[in-house]
Amino acid sequence: MMFSLADKNVIITGAGSGIGKSTAVLFAQQGATIHLVDINNAQATETAEEISKAGGQAVVHIIDVSNQEQVVTAFDKIDKIDILVNSAGISHIGKLETTAVADFDRVFNVNVKGVYNCLFAAIHNMKKNNGGVILNVSSIAALVGIQDRFAYSMTKGAVTAMTLSVARDYLADNIRCNCISPARVHTSFVDGFLAKNYPGKEKEMFDKLSKTQPIGRMAKPVEIAHLILYLCSDEAAFITGCDYPIDGGFVKLNN
């Protein structure tokens, strides 16, 4: 079977919802044992139950990725880490002058420090076990200027830079590291954002946001998960140090 993950241990952060959840479910279908990392117990447990009902294997780890001690303690309990998917992240709406220090720190701590903490906690395990694969979820916000996304764009630029650094530093250890840069993905975050900021106009604004992608719609989380699966599979063994936009034409076709 192509893209088989049989006998592989996979850590997925942000696995309780959105891209992380879809990736966890898909990877379990491919035979992996999934370690679900999330700060939300109810959502992570729901993902684990979905995987279990389908015959897969999942273990829940309720931790805050911005806390290095929690991350290291959890990862050290996993005997072998074959794949790490850093999907946990939060957003922030605002430009430079409307981004408070507290907002900046909050987004940085999850989106940058959280990725760093997970990389730090996993890398020695992968070196000890003669290799591994890392996939970081960045964003098109790291590639183009997006209005009112100052702090968020900063963090995703850092994720892309960390990806390249790790890929270069651990070539000799048989560790591959890539990232993907999605455009808008239809997750519960989008629905919550529209309900909060555009009450009564959710459908109108959803259509407007969808059409910012030249393809005319937002991505589905599972479509992002399919690319993650390829890049983490043995079929992608020659790929490292790359960023893959998955954006419905946003970066190259918007004029």
Q: Which of 184, 75, 89, 65 is nearest to 128 (CA)?
A: 75
> Which listed residue (152, 198, 230, 244) is catalytic?
152
Q: Which of 7, 41, 4, 22 is nearest to 180 (CA)?
A: 22
Is residue 186 classed exposed, middle or buried when 0-12, 13-18 and 19+ CB atoms within 10 A define those classes? Answer: middle
Active site includes 152?
A: yes
Q: Please report which residue ranges of the chain form alpha helices under DSSP H.
A: 18-29, 41-53, 68-76, 101-108, 114-128, 150-169, 188-197, 202-210, 221-232, 250-253
Specify the pairing of strand 175-182 against strand 243-246: parallel
Q: Judge contact between 92 and 138, C-beta under 8 A.
A: no
Q: Judge contact between 72 and 125, C-beta under 8 A.
A: no
**What residues pair up with 149 in beta bridges, in sequence order?**
94
Q: Name the residues annotated as catalytic.
A: 152
